[in-house]
Copies of this chain bind each other. A is one copy, B any other.
Amino acid sequence: MPLQDYMQIISVDDHLIEHPRVFADRLPRKFLDAGPRIVEDEQRRHVWHMEDQVFPYIGLNAVAGKTPEEFGMEPLRFDDMIPGCYDPVERVKDMDLDGIQAACCFPSFPGFGGRVFMRAKDPELGLACVRAWNDFSIDEWSASAPDRFVPLALLPLWDLDEAVAELRRVAAKGARTVSFPDSPVPLGLPSFHDDHWGPLWDVLEETGVPVSLHFGSGSFVPGFNFSAAALSPNPPAPGQAPPATSFALYATNLMWSTVDLLFSGQLQKHPGLKFMLSEGGIGWLPYIAERADWVWGRHRYYQPIDFDTRPSELLRKHFWGCYIDDQFGLTNRHAIGVDRICVEIDYPHSDSMWPNSRKVIAESLLDVPDDEAHQIVELNARDVFDFPRS
């Protein structure tokens, strides 16, 4: 059955490019010199500066509007990318072209989980940047079209008290998800196994805000250093893995995140926690559920893991996944749980099918009954993000 007109597509994973005044418009005056600002360098590239650090890619993989034949040239200036990358009004027009009702947009310059702000030498500046980005995301980007954007926020993860306070602040003003590193350990933060995060999980439960775990937000991607090699315009040296290797392995990051959380004991302490696995596909979920149950069944007698609750039950209760193209996952949707599957568009990145996303998603659902297709493209995302039709 084709995708019916009444089904509105909600993408749980898209990206925005911060325009040059995101921080300048919002930071306290004392931070204007050190805070993030766009500089045009000698090669006429637009680059972000923060304190004395330079971040060379404003438009991480912002290739929307290019054909695959044109990929591989990273946009180095704002005029290298289409305006929908950084302008929410233009973005909505691009979403209209693409047949998409609403999108949840991750950051670019700050990293998917905000790790760049952890690198500010002045933690007060880092905190001000997190707040500025959140105010931009909620009050400017999403507020420009409240029925078209699912507001996403970042947290100052290096300071738990401030993270809890910022979560309360953004939840009160409409954030519907927070981006959290898919693996906090490579960032020098406590692991998912650590009770350290308990106060944050408490407030996530209390506010009903789900956590989005985007692959790579914990900075480690198998095969190479994502922030350096993957974005280099130079081809890999002989004997090095081409970026395609990592692109194909995004799921493995989220397999670690999932299994880490399943064996952490935190889901039992925080039964209201909800996790969206962003850009990891879905076809592997039944495998890892069965494997985790097997390990639990064999090793719970002597390891410090919950003796009573099957990991697969925790997975089914606490996790949602999404796909761009995953027929194997859709074929096995009942093993995953039809109410746990969402779609992502990934605009403006190279995995995105824009402006043909609705057509591609419709084709992926040809063999799926209407009620299940509706859940997958729209209703599950509205449910997990508490983002009802207006």
Contacts and interface: CB of A to CB of B under 8 A. Distances in A.
Given A236-B304, A256-B252, A332-B328, A244 B299 contact: yes
Interface stretch (A46-54, A113-121, A189-197): A189-197
A380 B351 CA distance: 36
A238 B190 CA distance: 10
A296 B244 contact: yes
B301 A242 contact: no
Interface in A272-319: 281, 283-284, 286-288, 290-292, 294-305, 311
A79 B147 CA distance: 69
Contact of A252 (B194, B240, B252, B305): B252
A247 B299 contact: yes
A326 interface: yes
**Interface bracket on A:** 35 or more
A298 to B, nearest CB: 5
Contacts of A194: 238-239
Contact of A242 (B256, B263, B297): B263
A178 interface: no
Given A301-B68, A303-B72, A287 B240 contact: no
B260 A302 contact: no
Interface string A10-26: 00000000000000000
A172 interface: no
A286 B288 contact: no
Contact of A259 (B249, B286, B300, B326): B249
Contact of A255 (B249, B298, B324): B249
A348 interface: no
A23 to B, nearest CB: 32
A327 B290 contact: yes
Interface in A178-193: 190-191, 193
A72 B300 CA distance: 10
Contacts of A296: 244
Contact of A239 (B69, B190, B238): B190
Interface string A108-138: 0000000000000000000000000000000
Contact of A248 (B72, B288, B327, B329): B288
A97 interface: no
A254 B57 CA distance: 32
B263 A295 contact: no
Give the one of A249, A294, A351 with max B CB within 10 A: A249
A335 interface: yes
Given A259-B248, A287-B283, A290-B328, A351 B242 contact: no
A287 B325 CA distance: 10
A229 to B, nearest CB: 12
Contacts of A301: 68-72
26 contacts: A68-B301, A69-B302, A71-B301, A72-B301, A194-B238, A223-B256, A235-B303, A236-B304, A241-B260, A241-B263, A242-B303, A242-B305, A244-B295, A245-B263, A248-B291, A248-B295, A248-B311, A252-B252, A252-B256, A283-B290, A284-B284, A290-B325, A291-B326, A294-B351, A331-B332, A332-B332
